Amino acid sequence: MSEKAPQNTAELIINGTSYLLPIIEGEQGDKAIDIRGLLRQTGFTVFDTGFKNSASCSSTITYMDGSKGILRYRGYAIEDLAERCLFIEVAYLLLHNKLPNREELESFRTMLEQFALMHEDMIHFFDNFPPNASPMSILSVMVNSLHNYYPEMSDDPLVNIDITASRLISKVRTIASFSYKKSIGQPLVYPRYDLSYCGNFLNMMFDNPVRPYIVLPEVVAALNKLLILHADHEQNCSTSAVRLVGSAGGNLYASISAGINALWGPLHGGANEAVIQMLEAIHADNNDYKKYIAKAKDKSDPFRLSGFGHRVYRTYDPRGKIIKDACRGILAALNVDDPLLEIAGKLEEIVLCDDYFVSRNLYPNIDFYSGIIYRALGIPTNMFTVMFALGRLPGWIAQWKEMREDQSTKIYRPRQIYTGAPPRHFIPLGERS
Ligand code: CMC
């Protein structure tokens, strides 16, 4: 046992033997014990279900401080970006580690518009899904299939990454709106060169031959803000899925498709849909908040209050705060009076005074109010998580690119602690009782 471990080292004592492990420090002072040599040095692994205590990589993309409620993309405060940027500017920032100048933004915009069409053969895919197919399953299938139509990345995935990234960011919007049109039996509306990224998406969603859609600036601005707030969130479940598939050498489309599937779950991106279902249920139950709060606190009931809690934030999710502050204004500008807004406000008020939630630092997250805005924009509930995916896409791509450029990347391959049967004697089929 050492008298005192040297500076920037952690001393680990296992059964009386001392091991020194390096301490690494991030740009903002976050510290970690570097255990990369642990197994080799000690013969021990670490047990960390859900990776609650593990940093899976180092990254230059997004910074979060969970106790102070800080979120920055590439060093820029989320509040500034959400207030003052276009979504495609933020996408460029995430991908290139710099805010674009006018020329760079224009050329990125042109590239996005140029790639907006989908190969016509792919449009037939939509006919083969059942009428009630989930838009998330359609999105993941279509994105995975893009690899067959646009295989440029096969030889060296990083050579054409800008083209592939633009193609994905552009086409995902077309895929999402086409899947909606198919689900409601309306003719597809093709992308238009003259519309903005968000305007184009809204037009493809809501324009139809008998009732042309008027792209309102308030609606575009609200969507733009939401997509920026979704754009990245460091090593969350879906981003880790993207990195995991990419770490095995999987192509970008396959990796993003995995991310879409991970996002789908109600504990992750699917929470925005679950929040609306929960608020509707409370409304239908004569605003019986107490019943739902009691259910959420009951450990024998799997029900949780959707839109509350976060793995990293121990305070109000800064994205949730921006959305909440914007919510009333957006609904007023659109002349929408949604009873769910009052219910959400009241539920939040009660929860934030309840000892169960206070003692566990459970605050509203991004998904608590986002669905109310999506509803006001006319987006159907089953498309909410698709909207999250549209926003998260640039972050997923930036994270995938960062991982592939990093020479020290290893395939994701956690260990386990085996708790199954001890070695057993094999009995041939005919002799088994
Ligand atoms: N309702 C009731 N209890 C909760 C909730 C909730 N929403 N969230 C956490 N808890 C309790 C949990 O039961 C546990 O209690 P105890 O210590 O007595 O066992 C404690 O709080 C800690 O929870 P945890 O499950 O260990 O925390 P986690 O970091 O593993 O989970 C979470 C984080 C987001 C999955 C969880 O808070 C949750 O299920 N929230 C509801 C779903 C949701 O809103 N998800 C969106 C997250 S933000 C956007 C995104 O990432 O996609």
Which CATH number does the domain housing residue 18 bear?
Answer: 2.20.28
| Residue-level pLDDT at 158 | 75
User: Based on the domain organization, do 31 and 108 belong to the same domain?
Assistant: no
Q: Is 314 in the pocket of ligand 1 (CB under 6 A)?
A: no
The ligand 1 atom nearest the CA atom of 317: 48
User: Based on the domain organization, do 167 and 203 belong to the same domain?
Assistant: yes
Average pLDDT, the chain: 95
| Residue-level pLDDT at 159 | 72
Residues found in the chain:
433
Question: Which residue range is the domain that position 19 belongs to?
Answer: 9-55
Whether 106 is in a domain gets the answer yes
User: Based on the domain organization, do 46 and 117 belong to the same domain?
Assistant: no
| Residue-level pLDDT at 3 | 63
- Flag whether pLDDT at 207 surpasses 90: yes
Whether 331 is in a domain gets the answer no
The ligand 1 atom nearest the CA atom of 299: 13
Find the mean pLDDT for residues 103-127. Answer: 94
**Tens of pLDDT, residues 338-383:** 999 999 999 999 999 999 999 999 999 999 999 999 999 999 999 9
Q: Which residues contact 131 (CB under 8 A, 6 or more apart)?
A: 183
Q: Is 363 in the pocket of ligand 1 (CB under 6 A)?
A: no
| Residue-level pLDDT at 41 | 96
| Residue-level pLDDT at 155 | 64
Whether 292 is in a domain gets the answer no
Question: One-letter amino acid identity for 122?
Answer: M
Q: Is 174 in the pocket of ligand 1 (CB under 6 A)?
A: no
C-alpha 320 – ligand 1 centre gap (Å): 15
Q: Is 117 in the pocket of ligand 1 (CB under 6 A)?
A: no
User: Based on the domain organization, do 111 and 207 belong to the same domain?
Assistant: yes
Using pLDDT thresholds of 50, 70 and 90, give the confidence band for residue 154: low
Q: Is 271 in the pocket of ligand 1 (CB under 6 A)?
A: yes
Of 381, 126, 161, the closest CA to residue 271 belongs to: 381
User: Based on the domain organization, do 46 and 95 belong to the same domain?
Assistant: no
User: Based on the domain organization, do 195 and 124 belong to the same domain?
Assistant: yes
Alpha-carbon distances of 221 from 116, 216, 225, rounded to whole Å: 21, 9, 6
Whether 190 is in a domain gets the answer yes
**Tens of pLDDT, residues 5-53:** 788 999 999 999 999 999 999 999 999 999 999 999 999 999 999 999 9
User: Based on the domain organization, do 227 and 86 belong to the same domain?
Assistant: yes
- Flag whether pLDDT at 2 surpasses 60: no
C-alpha 415 – ligand 1 centre gap (Å): 25
User: Based on the domain organization, do 108 and 19 belong to the same domain?
Assistant: no
Q: Is 360 in the pocket of ligand 1 (CB under 6 A)?
A: yes
C-alpha 315 – ligand 1 centre gap (Å): 13
User: Based on the domain organization, do 118 and 35 belong to the same domain?
Assistant: no
Residue 90 contacts residue 390 (beta carbons within 8 Å):
no
Find the mean pLDDT for residues 149-170. Answer: 82
Find the mean pLDDT for residues 236-262. Answer: 97
Find the mean pLDDT for residues 129-135. Answer: 90
CATH no. for residue 80? 1.10.580.10
Find the mean pLDDT for residues 143-162. Answer: 81
User: Based on the domain organization, do 187 and 86 belong to the same domain?
Assistant: yes
- If one counts every other C-beta atom within 10 angstroms of the C-beta of residue 87, the result is 27
The total number of structural domains in the chain stands at 2
Q: Is 306 in the pocket of ligand 1 (CB under 6 A)?
A: yes
Q: Is 366 in the pocket of ligand 1 (CB under 6 A)?
A: yes
Indicate the angle between helix axes 339-351 and 271-284, nearest 10 degrees: 100
The ligand 1 atom nearest the CA atom of 365: 48
Using pLDDT thresholds of 50, 70 and 90, give the confidence band for residue 264: very high
Whether 172 is in a domain gets the answer yes
Active site residues: 310, 367
User: Based on the domain organization, do 32 and 154 belong to the same domain?
Assistant: no
User: Based on the domain organization, do 13 and 109 belong to the same domain?
Assistant: no
Whether 85 is in a domain gets the answer yes
Whether 322 is in a domain gets the answer no
82 SS3 class: helix
- Closest CA to ligand 1's atom 26: 311
Substitution candidate for ligand 1 out of 240, 263, 310, 358 with most atoms within 8 A of CB: 310
Find the mean pLDDT for residues 60-71. Answer: 97
* Sheet bearing 17-25, strands edge to edge: 9-14, 17-25, 31-33
Q: What is the DSSP string of 142-154?
A: HHHHHHHH-GGGS
C-alpha 347 – ligand 1 centre gap (Å): 16
What stretches of 248-383 show up as alpha helix (H) in DSSP? Answer: 252-263, 271-284, 289-297, 318-333, 339-351, 355-359, 366-377
| Residue-level pLDDT at 378 | 95
C-alpha 308 – ligand 1 centre gap (Å): 7
| Residue-level pLDDT at 132 | 86
